[in-house]
Amino acid sequence: MFGAEFTVEGLSAERAVEKLAQGGVPVLSAEKIQKNAVRFRVDGKHSKKVFAILQGSCYNITKSRPIGWARAVRSLAAHAGLLAGAALFWCAVAFFQGRVLKIDVVGSGAYYRSEVLSVLTESGAGLFSPVPQEKAAITARILSFPRVSFCSLSHEGGVLTVCVEVEDEALPLVVGALTAPADGTVESLTVVRGRACVSVGDEVRAGDPVAEPAAGENYVIARVAVRYAVDAEYTGSEESARAQSYLDYGEIADLQSQKTGNGWRITGSALAIAAVNLG
């Protein structure tokens, strides 16, 4: 036997339900069936207590039939769709609890947000992905960022929180803007702190500001790569000319060598990289 059903008739019959609750009898369900009549259900073991609490009141109390196995089965069958929906809902909740639904980057190093998101993406962690298991590898990469002294990852309620703390006293900050290291075209620009003055693809001249401090600050954390033309002449063999050009300019794109009266002319393009407060 699962429970017992009662009907109470009288003025303000719904107050009988309140009286039962105050008396320590949990009411499993209640339904107002007429203007002055309420039908309610309680656990079968509380049947005697119902009569004891409402005895002497102005209500007419009638105990209906007990709710047994057959009726319970019929009730479950009638609500099969509702139960299936509830089961599906809780399965979905359990599934998404193990997924990343939002990423928060907090702490004094929160300005590294774009770099942190890149590390997470490269590690296979992103929106709707499983919670990353290789947390040590991820934090190790973030700790390699300039000035980062602490990093932790936590996941709760679908939110992956990355806490990044920086130690500004670890190294003295270089004050001022970041300028272009050569005449050429901006190939890449990373501005962690400050304001970009140019965009990738812009033509710049050596000394032009490419990133400047934000309002109220006097420093930037940024890096720029500028591709510039290489045109140099070397004496000796073609092989030695190519080797020397590599030592002078690094890797040269579209490298071409041409014989001259004094040796070899090397042309192409190379990258000049400059950074301020960013390794």
- Residues 62 and 24 grouped into a single domain: yes
Q: Given 142, 166, 190, which residue is the final one in a domain?
A: 166
Is residue 57 one of the residues assigned to a domain?
yes
Question: What local confidence, expressed as pLDDT, does residue 70 receive?
Answer: 46
Please check whether residues 130 and 187 belong to one and the same domain: no
Looking at the structure, tell me whether residues 115 and 193 fall in a common domain: no
What number is the average pLDDT over the span 154-167?
86
83 part of a folded domain: no
- pLDDT for 67 equals 54
In this model, does residue 249 exceed pLDDT 80? Answer: yes
In a domain, 233, yes or no: yes
Which tokens belong to 225? 């790569």
Q: What is the pTM of this model?
A: 0.48
pLDDT grade, residue 123 (50/70/90)?
confident
Q: Give me the mean pLDDT over the 35-53 stretch.
A: 81
Look at residues 115, 145, 166 and tell me which one is the last residue of a structural domain. 166
Residue 88, domain member (yes or no): no
Mean pLDDT of 169-183: 83
Is 90 inside a domain boundary? no
Residues 184 and 253 in one domain: yes
Let me know if residue 269 belongs to a domain: yes
Q: Do 162 and 198 belong to one domain? A: no
Stronger pLDDT, 111 or 224, i.e. the higher one:
224
Whether 157 and 218 map to the same domain: the answer is no
| Same structural domain, 161 and 198 | no
Q: Which domain holds residue 7?
A: 3-76
Q: Give yes or no for residue 64 having a pLDDT over 80.
A: no
Name the domain count of the chain: 3
Q: Average pLDDT of 199-218?
A: 94
User: 49-63, 205-219, 237-251: lowest mean pLDDT where?
Assistant: 49-63
pLDDT, averaged across the chain: 83
Asked if residue 95 belongs to a domain, the reply is no
Residue 97 lies in a domain: no
Last residue of a domain, one of 60, 76, 92: 76
91, pLDDT greater than 60: no
Q: What is the pLDDT of residue 197?
A: 96
